[in-house]
Structure 1
Amino acid sequence: MTEIKEPWGLSVFGTGSVSAEPRVAHLKLAVDHLSPTPREAFAQAGAAVSRLRTVLREHGVPDSEVSGSRLSLASEFKGYGGERTFLGYRCEATYTVRTEQLDRLQDLIQDAVEAGANRVDEVRFDVLGKPTMRDEARRRAVAAARRKAEVYAEACGVRLGRVVHIQDVDPESVGLRSHGGRLGGDPESDGVLAPGAVKVEAAVLLGYGLLP
């Protein structure tokens, strides 16, 4: 049996969430080329980056909504020890693209891949005004915790006193997770991007004093 070492009142945990339709997408794209010489690797990757930038502008994505890395170069090998063989030079640049044009998202991805973004590392959906949603989720978490506290107090024949402790809890630390939609999540979607809903969650631990 668990022993209550410092009895002082009632401690309750509450969670709350708010969902909304996504309004923005974040894409992680990469230009990635393996060539026999550094010169060829830089040339191929640089040309692909130039084409990718042109495609993004054609889709109405301003440069300010695109964050990217410089071209990086590294030797690549296959195998280990005596069987290790040189494959060439890998040149890579990664980009994060933000767009609110969700109705044209599939075309943007397709055109970006055809332009030379030969890796799509992530498609993540999000909402606008997330801080406001988070505030409402916190209010709902507090309301849920208070309802629970009132039930416990009634069942024990006591009354709730004032709140003596408030602790914000990271939702992910207790198994909750704020998330966006995903690509191809519905097996019946026939390959269509299905963003679904974005859920913003909050959790709180409240401590109440008790009255007879």
Structure 2
Amino acid sequence: MSKKLLFLISILILVLPFTLFVNQALASEGSLHVTGTAVVTGLPDIVYISLGVETKHSSAEAAAKKNALIMNQVYTALKDLGLTEQQITTSGYQIYSSTQVLNRGTDQEKTITTYHVNNRVNISTKNLEQIGQIIDNAIKAGANQVQNVRFDIENKQQMQLQALKNAVQQGKAKAEAMAEAAGITLGGLANMSESYSSYTPMMDTIAVKAEALAFSNTTINPGQVEVSATVSMNYWF
């Protein structure tokens, strides 16, 4: 038997009796279960923009060459704004074909095959005031797809800790209120667990059509980032 397996078995031998003891104690003495929740909000400090170039042609090679040409123009336009290569990363590249049958069922029936090339990039920047300019310059350079714009906070650890503290305080207050109303004396905390979730403002699938590429001065206002924490608490009484 390996040393690693022996170590795991010894840990289980130590932990299981304690777990059984807690469960038995809760069952015999009585327990009060509460949950506490809290939400902490903050202003985003980073934005992620997903955009791309789609080209199509009767030749796959021609569609790919045209796409590469336009995407190079988009890269140049973005770098002219001060964005680095680390801030512009390829997120997907796809080539596929579609067919269309003309004059179906006649002597002039004809099948047309069109090749599509999709090239998508992700852009990240902490300069939130530059969002509109990034989108405008990319579109003017030839980008014809903007999938989404997502706001976030780069380091949410402090928000998570604060949300956790607030959730514990709420759970404790609820337990004390319930115990007082029930006329029981609240004992110690038997066990506690936690979970997190977060919400980041996002604008999904901004449709950009070829005939509408002349617009400029795009304005996008970020919302607030939310981090929520939930704690599950068991008290003895």
The TM-score bracket by the shorter chain reads 0.7 to 0.9
What is the CA distance between 1:106 and its match in structure 2? 0.5
How many residues were matched structurally?
Answer: 192
* Worse-superposed segment, 25-34 or 66-75: 66-75
Asked if the contact 2:49/2:150 (under 8 Å) is kept, the reply is yes
Instruction: Give every structure 1 segment of 4 or more consecutive aligned residues whose post-TM-superposition deviation is greater than 6 Å.
Output: none
Residue 24 of structure 1 corresponds to which residue in structure 2? 46
Residue 38 of structure 1 corresponds to which residue in structure 2? 60
Residue 179 of structure 1 corresponds to which residue in structure 2? 200
**Larger % of helix: which?**
2
Distance 1:144 1:182, change over 3 A: farther
TM-score by structure 1 length? 0.81
What is the CA distance between 1:77 and its match in structure 2? 3.1
What is the CA distance between 1:133 and its match in structure 2? 1.0
Selected match of 2:219 from 183, 186, 192:
192
Give the match's secondary structure for 1:29.
strand
Q: Percent identity?
A: 26
Report the AA paired with residue 97 of structure 1: I
Report the AA paired with residue 158 of structure 1: I
Unaligned stretches of 5+ residues in structure 1:
172-176, 184-190
Selected match of 1:165 from 191, 206, 210:
191
Q: Could you list the per-position Cα deviations for residues 178-209 of structure 1 after superposition, in whole angstroms to 9, with x for gaps in the alignment?
A: 222548xxxxxxx7311021111111111111
Report the AA paired with residue 178 of structure 1: Y
What is the RMSD computed on CA atoms of the aligned residues? Answer: 2.5
Selected match of 2:230 from 200, 203, 206:
203
Whole-Å Cα distance in 2 between the matches of residues 72 and 181 of structure 1?
A: 24
Q: Residue 119 in 1 paired to residue 140 in 2?
A: no
Selected match of 2:98 from 76, 88, 93:
76
Unaligned stretches of 5+ residues in structure 2:
1-26, 205-217
Q: Residue 96 in 1 paired to residue 96 in 2?
A: no
Whole-Å Cα distance in 2 between the matches of residues 26 and 115 of structure 1?
A: 19
What is the CA distance between 1:170 and its match in structure 2? 4.7
Report the AA paired with residue 200 of structure 1: V
Q: Could you list the per-position Cα deviations for residues 80-135 of structure 1 after superposition, in whole angstroms to 9, with x for gaps in the alignment?
A: xx899544011111111101111121011111112122111100111132112111
Residue 186 of structure 1 corresponds to which residue in structure 2? none
Whole-Å Cα distance in 2 between the matches of residues 203 and 110 of structure 1?
A: 41
Give the match's secondary structure for 1:107.
helix
Residue 188 of structure 1 corresponds to which residue in structure 2? none
Asked if the contact 2:93/2:117 (under 8 Å) is kept, the reply is yes
Distance 1:97 1:7, change over 3 A: farther
Q: Residue 105 in 1 paired to residue 142 in 2?
A: no
What is the CA distance between 1:141 and its match in structure 2? 1.1
Asked if the contact 1:165/1:207 (under 8 Å) is kept, the reply is yes
